[in-house]
């Protein structure tokens, strides 16, 4: 990511990799409400980028723009040196699995779209089982979403996203509704996917500790509307990270507190602006 230059420690050095995504003067809004304004950002291949910021800052909207689910009102988003891409993998917080299909049938549906008749039905189900085994769900291939826990459903959603075959994975607060233990397990899974498969991952979260654990770089959005990029910070901790050692270190505590202070600073500035407008309007 290129906006703020800092020393980066990473096992795959994304700072030297080719540019995967470029957002140029991107703005977006509905009618009279401007949600995002003048977003400029570069993301490199293999980078794990986390988007942070308070609610309403436009993080999820920016992810939808990257996924081509929305179109910018102005500016452009270039992925793999072209505008728009059809095979981006997306994981949402609500899992988005088809409830009338089993775990493996949800994967097969994505595989059919990707492979377009190149595999037999038997081969498709074998591939689906492989993807589910990859996310430790090999025992649950025949289960329907309603028969699975939240963590299992999210693993199935990740498996389906991986089956799309894209090297770009977008994740919108995917672990926000999960219990702490399941959340940690899935954080480790996503980190492993990033490291082993060299996927570029864009991940939205409100959680500072989660952001630090996962990210090579963190983009902090200012409170909206409209949301803007407040600052971009490279995470200075080398991967793989020992969670217990990291969380007990003074460097981690200081870095986390700086992140939270930056986010809170934006919130307080927004509140002060609102109060100034309201005071001025009463004169």
| CB-based contacts of 135, cutoff 8 Å, min separation 6 | 155, 156, 158, 159, 162, 189
Q: Which tens digit of pLDDT belongs to each residue from 121-178? A: 999 999 999 999 999 899 999 999 999 999 999 999 999 999 988 889 999 999 888 8
The pLDDT of residue 228 is above 50: yes
User: 86-90, 114-118, 200-204: which range is least confident on average?
Assistant: 86-90
Backbone angles phi, psi at 182, to 5 degrees: -65, -40
Find all residues with CB under 8 Å of 77, minimum gap 6, and list them.
Answer: 21, 22, 23, 24, 26, 65, 66, 83
- Domains of the chain and CATH, by start: 14-88+166-281 (3.40.50.300)
Task: List Cβ neighbours of 176 (8 Å cut-off, separation of 6 or more).
Answer: 93, 205, 206
Residues 266 and 272: their CA atoms lie apart, in Å, by 10
C-alpha–C-alpha distance, residues 140 and 32, integer Å: 47
The DSSP line for 8-56 is ---SS-GGGSPEEEEEEEEEEEETTEEEEEEEEEEEETT-EEEEE--TT
User: Could you check whether the bond before residue 96 is cis, i.e. omega within 30 degrees of 0?
Assistant: no
∠ CA(42), CA(50), CA(213), 5° rounding? Answer: 130
Highest mean pLDDT among 163-167, 208-212, 238-242 belongs to: 208-212
Query: Comparing C-alpha atoms, which of 89, 77, 40 is closest to residue 221?
Result: 40
Report how far residue 88's alpha carbon sits from residue 252's, in angstroms, rounded to the nearest whole number. 33
CA nearest to 141, candidates 104, 192, 193: 104
Phi, psi of 202 (to 5 degrees): -115, 125
pLDDT for residue 270: 66
> What is the b/e burial string over 142-152, where b = at least 16 CB atoms within 10 angstroms of the residue's CB?
ebbbeebeebb
Span 5-54, pLDDT tens digits = 333 344 445 567 889 999 999 999 988 889 999 999 999 999 999 999 88
Only one residue has tokens 């609102």, namely: 274
Using a pLDDT cut of 90, give the percent of the chain over it.
57
What's the rounded Cα separation, in Å, for the pair 213 and 133?
Answer: 24
The rounded distance, in Å, linking the Cα atoms of 61 and 66 is: 9
pLDDT at 131 (0 to 100)? 93
- Gap between the Cα atoms of 149 and 139, Å rounded: 13
Cβ-contact 200, 88 below 8 angstroms: no
């Amino acid at each position: 990511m290129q906006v703020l230059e800092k020393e980066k420690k990473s096992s795959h050095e994304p700072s030297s990799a080719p540019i995967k995504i470029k957002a140029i003067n991107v703005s977006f809004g509905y009618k009279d409400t401007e949600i995002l304004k003048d977003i400029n950002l570069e993301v490199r291949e293999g980078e794990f980028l986390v988007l942070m910021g308070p609610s309403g800052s436009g993080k999820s909207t920016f992810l939808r723009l990257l996924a081509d689910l929305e179109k910018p009102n102005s500016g452009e988003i270039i992925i793999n040196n072209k505008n728009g891409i059809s095979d981006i993998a997306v994981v949402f917080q609500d899992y988005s699995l088809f409830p009338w299909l089993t775990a493996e049938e949800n994967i097969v549906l994505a595989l059919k779209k990707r492979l377009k008749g190149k595999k037999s039905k038997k081969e498709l189900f074998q591939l689906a089982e492989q993807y589910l085994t990859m996310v430790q769900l090999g025992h649950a291939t025949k289960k329907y979403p309603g028969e699975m826990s939240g963590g299992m459903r999210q693993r199935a959603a990740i498996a389906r996203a991986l089956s799309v075959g894209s090297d770009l994975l977008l994740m919108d607060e995917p672990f926000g509704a999960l219990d702490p233990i399941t959340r940690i397990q899935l954080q480790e899974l996503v980190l492993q996917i990033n490291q082993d498969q060299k996927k570029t991952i864009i991940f939205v979260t409100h959680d500072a500790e989660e952001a630090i654990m996962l990210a090579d770089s963190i983009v902090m959005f200012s409170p909206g509307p409209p949301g803007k990029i407040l600052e971009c910070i490279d995470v200075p901790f080398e991967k793989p990270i020992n969670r217990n050692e990291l969380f007990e270190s003074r460097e981690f505590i200081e870095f986390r507190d700086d992140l939270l202070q930056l986010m809170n600073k934006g919130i307080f500035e927004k509140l002060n602006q609102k109060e100034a407008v309201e005071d001025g309007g009463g004169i």
